[in-house]
Amino acid sequence: MPFFQALAGFAAPIFLISSPIISYTDQAMSMHKKRSSAGFSLDIPLIMLVACIFRVFYWFGAKYDNALLIQAFVNIFMQVILLKIALDTRPPPSTRGGDAGLPFSGAKEGFGFKRPYNFWQWRSPKPYWQFLLYLFITLTVLELIVAPMDSLYPTYWSFLGIIGLGVEATLPLPQLLANYRSKSSRGFRVSLLASWILGDALKMYWFFTSTTEIPWSFKICGMFQAACDLGLGFQYMIYGDHEPEVLARQWPYAGLKPHQLSMNSGRSTPTGRKTPMSEKAY
């Protein structure tokens, strides 16, 4: 047991620091090669960037293990690259005759509501980078203001840790929802999933056996994230990597042949009677 504990204490920090590169390089290369980020949730870079930025500022008060701090910086670097590729390779906006022509196109998604101001669903790349810059500037200013306040600062950095780790724990949720809607795991790399699950196992072992300071907030959020990652694994086994389903209820003419579609799109008139000019469609 001491041998495995020592081995985990040596290997886990190295794996944690390198895991963002190992996990996301294959996903980024796949999107770049295919010139498409279809099937990949843009919320993944959002969650990781916000979580890691909060974790960096959390370190100034918590002084947690340096390996976790270095991992946060490496993760920020990788997520910026991933977000850039995902934005550059997004499918183009729907055009007439494409998805825009389908009923309920653009309808409310997620839990039945639209995001305020289409947050993180903008068509232009600029607002994404502006949001991240404003977040960093805001946290920097707050750090400079609150840090000298000895009575308030411990509560403040604890709050940062709860937000950062809580947000990171929700990382698999957008992909879980995306897979559930499409009934497919297509576009989500199995290598990324495998690295998440392997990382969870090693991380949990290290969190509970490490002799260095690992706050309980890391452990609780890590357990929740591990459970969600296992859920993604079950989805991959159930749905597979096939093309996403198009729900028939979203397209009332689904399954009809082209000549049947054209017949159903016009008005039927009694045989031999001319359609009045006022009823003709142009």
User: What's the domain count of the chain?
Assistant: 1
69, 75 in Cβ contact below 8 A? no
pTM of the model: 0.71
pLDDT higher than threshold 50 for residue 193: yes
Report if residue 190 sits inside a domain: yes
- 135-180 residue pLDDT tens: 999 999 999 999 999 999 999 999 999 999 889 888 888 888 888 8
CA distances from residue 193 to 106, 196, 250 in whole angstroms, order as listed: 29, 5, 30
Residue 269 placed within a domain:
no
Q: How far apart are CA 43 and CA 252, in angstroms?
A: 31
Q: Is residue 261 part of a domain?
A: no
Which range marks the domain in which residue 79 is found?
2-91+109-245
CA gap 76, 51 in Å, rounded: 9
- On average, the pLDDT of the chain sits at 79
The answer to whether position 104 is within a domain reads no
pLDDT in tens, 42-59: 988 999 999 999 999 999
Q: Is residue 129 domain-resident? A: yes
Q: pLDDT tens digits, residue range 198-236?
A: 888 888 888 888 777 778 888 888 899 899 999 999 998
44 inside domain: yes
Residue 253 in any domain: the answer is no
Q: Note whether residue 268 is domain-resident.
A: no
Phi-psi bin for 178: left (phi > 0), alpha (psi -120 to 50), beta? alpha
